[in-house]
Every structure is written in C-alpha cells, then in structure tokens.
C-alpha cells in the first residue's frame, strides 16, 4: 500500500513539473505577443486577424501525436490566444444581450473568454455599435436549423456597410427554468424569445397547454422575467439558470433534437479575411423589374458551377412589393473566377452588394 502511495506521489510530482513548464511557456508566449503588439502599433497593422488564429489551431491539430484529445486542442488554444490577445488590445465584441443568451455563448465561443463582450438590446443596436466604432465586432443570430431565418439581421445589411467576417454554429439546448420552490403544475406563464417558443411549441402544447406564452426580446430576458414571477417559467439556456439563480426543471425541450443556430460575426470592411481555400460568400441583390430577371441573375452561377447554398428574400422596405434577395455561395469574392461571376450577376441587378467572404465552418461542430 505504501508503495502505491509513493508511486502516486511521484506521478503527481511529474504532473506538477509539466504544469510549471506549461506556465513558463505561456509567459514566454505572452512576452512575444507584447512585442507583436508594439510592432502593430508602430505599423498600424490590425490587432485581430481571425485567419491567423485558424492557422494556429489547424497546424496544432494536424501535428498532435496524442494521447491529448485532438478535439480539445481548439478550445484550449482558443483560450490561450484570447488571453494573449488581451495584452495587445482587448477585442470589444457587441452581441445581442443580455448576458446569458445563446448569442453571448457564440461570442465567447468565437473570440474566447478574454474578449470584452458587451451586450446590446437589439440586433440593430449591435450593428450600430460596430458602425460607430464603439465595438470592434458584432455577433448576431441569422438562422436556426428548425425555425429558419432571423429576419431582423438580414434587414440590417441593406443599409449598413459592415462585412461578415466569420460564421459560428451553436448547438441550442432549451431548458425550462423556474424558481427553486415551484413545480410544473404551478406554472401559469412561460417567457421566452419568439424563436425559442417556436422551437419548443410541441413540448409546450403537450406539457403546459394552459400556460400563457409571453414573448421577450431574448432568452436571457425571459430568465430575468421568470426570476420576478412566482408563477412564471422561462425557456432559456442552462447558463441563464446559473446567472439568474433559477432551477432547471426540464432539459432538451426543443421539438427537433439536433437544433442549431448559425451566428454571423460582423465587422468593418478593413477586417475582411483573406481567402483560405474553403470559403463562403454572402451577397444581397435587388433585381431590375424585368421578366426573367431572377433566372438571368442566377444563371451565371449555374454556368460557372458555383454552389449556391442559400437564397432568401425580404421586403426592401423602400417600395411596395420590391424584394431583396440574400445569397450564400461557396468561394471567396477575391478569387478571380468568382469575381467574374459576381460581376455577371450584378449586371442584372438594380442593387448588388457583397456582404462578405469568410471561412466556411462545418455546421456539425
């Protein structure tokens, strides 16, 4: 028995030594980052380059010999990079708040825990913060795998000159949050964002058919409302339960188990990422009022073999019955072949705008 204890103590001492080496390496990295920051200040180079972080993660993932789990490299490296970046210049990120929303989770997932995440009350306010330079980037929801498009986000792109610089996918798991001393039978009202209520409509119909459904501006606001309502419940995240001192009464309320939301990271044109070889381009267009205009506008994409992955339409809000079409396609607008195709599309449009080209993310995680 004593021999076993001695062996355990020896192994723990080895772990302590490795941890000391990791700490020393982290501080060496931080010291180099401070020199990088000084160089960027002197040359005017951008502080945040998303493609650089991607390259680091991909290189280390490919080089990992194990047994450290390859899937764990991304979150570990992301937090190291995020913490070191705060030594250069804390990246200020506006997101659809308040704290505890799924958009907040998306912001932290993309930029790391050390970013300065600033909540905004509406999607329009997120765009405004970035436009005014009060935030370096903004994070907004754009579509859900079961409920479709977030129209307010698309509408903001019509009159804004911000660029999409990245996309983020978050697995959305909805929980029923209540006071610590309430049971399901006492719930009279359920608060949540309209999208969350829609994603859980089947569960609500089956389990709380008599409860009034109250729409809020976010799932975190729903948690705040439930916090002050003795007969209220909220559909929100488990993180919101911790932030607002609520109890998780039920988990996985969503009607579709594989429920994901896509978020966009928006920034100024100067933050546009370079081609990576695995990119997506988003664009908007308003067609000329001619027969066959949509067919003719999309034909160059088909003829060039460009994969059109998404098309949505929204009222332009400028003239009755005029619509704005939003397109997603594979490729980067800086690639000569796609640039020529986009020029051919634009020829059929009254208005045409590339909203951004950015690395394509595998939506499976």
| CA pair distance 312, 326, nearest whole angstrom | 5
- Given a contact cutoff of 8 angstroms between Cβ atoms, the answer to whether 275 and 332 are in contact is yes
Residue 48 per-residue DSSP state:
-
| CA pair distance 120, 127, nearest whole angstrom | 9
Pairing of strands 175-178, 232-236: antiparallel
| Residues belonging to the active site | 261, 263
For residue 36, give both structure tokens. 């990088």
What angle separates helix 73-88 from helix 2-43, to the nearest 10 degrees?
40
| CA pair distance 63, 65, nearest whole angstrom | 6
What element of type H or E holds 345?
Answer: helix 336-346
DSSP symbols for 269-302: GGGPPPP-SSEEEEEEEEE-SSTTHHHHHHHHHH
| CA pair distance 224, 242, nearest whole angstrom | 11
- Given a contact cutoff of 8 angstroms between Cβ atoms, the answer to whether 194 and 152 are in contact is no
φ and ψ at 212, to 5 degrees? -75, 135
- Given a contact cutoff of 8 angstroms between Cβ atoms, the answer to whether 189 and 208 are in contact is no
| CA pair distance 28, 31, nearest whole angstrom | 5
């Amino acid at each position: 028995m004593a021999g076993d204890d001695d062996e355990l103590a020896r192994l723990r001492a080895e772990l302590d030594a490795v941890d000391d080496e990791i700490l020393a390496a982290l501080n060496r990295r931080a010291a180099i980052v401070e020199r990088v920051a000084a160089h960027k200040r002197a040359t005017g180079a951008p502080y945040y380059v998303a493609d650089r972080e991607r390259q680091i993660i991909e290189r280390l993932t490919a080089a990992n010999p194990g047994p450290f789990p390859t899937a764990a490299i991304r979150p570990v490296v992301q937090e190291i990079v995020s913490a070191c970046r705060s030594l250069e210049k804390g990246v200020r990120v506006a997101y659809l708040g308040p704290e505890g929303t799924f958009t907040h989770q998306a912001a932290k997932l993309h930029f790391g825990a050390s970013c300065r995440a600033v909540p905004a009350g509406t999607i329009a306010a997120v765009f405004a913060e970035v436009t005014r330079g009060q935030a370096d980037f903004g994070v907004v929801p754009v579509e859900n795998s079961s409920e479709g498009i977030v129209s307010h986000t698309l509408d903001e792109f019509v009159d804004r000159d911000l660029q999409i610089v990245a996309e983020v996918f978050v697995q959305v798991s909805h929980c029923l949050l209540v006071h610590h001393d309430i049971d399901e039978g006492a719930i009279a009202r359920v608060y949540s964002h309209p999208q969350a209520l829609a994603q859980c409509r089947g569960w609500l119909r089956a389990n709380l058919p008599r409860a009034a459904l109250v729409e809020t501006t976010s799932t975190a606001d729903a948690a705040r409302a439930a916090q002050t309502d003795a007969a209220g419940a909220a559909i929100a995240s488990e993180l919101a339960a911790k932030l607002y001192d609520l109890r998780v009464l039920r988990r996985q309320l969503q009607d579709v188990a594989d429920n994901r939301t896509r978020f966009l990271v928006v920034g100024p044109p100067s933050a546009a990422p370079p081609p990576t070889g695995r990119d997506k381009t988003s664009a908007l267009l308003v067609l000329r009022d001619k027969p066959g205009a949509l067919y003719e506008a999309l034909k160059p994409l088909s003829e060039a073999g460009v994969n059109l992955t998404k098309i949505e339409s929204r009222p332009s809000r400028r003239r009755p019955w005029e619509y704005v079409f939003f397109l997603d396609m594979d490729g980067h607008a800086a690639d000569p072949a796609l640039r020529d195709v986009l020029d051919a599309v634009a020829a059929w449009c009254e208005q045409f705008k590339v909203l951004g080209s950015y690395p394509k993310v595998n939506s499976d995680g």
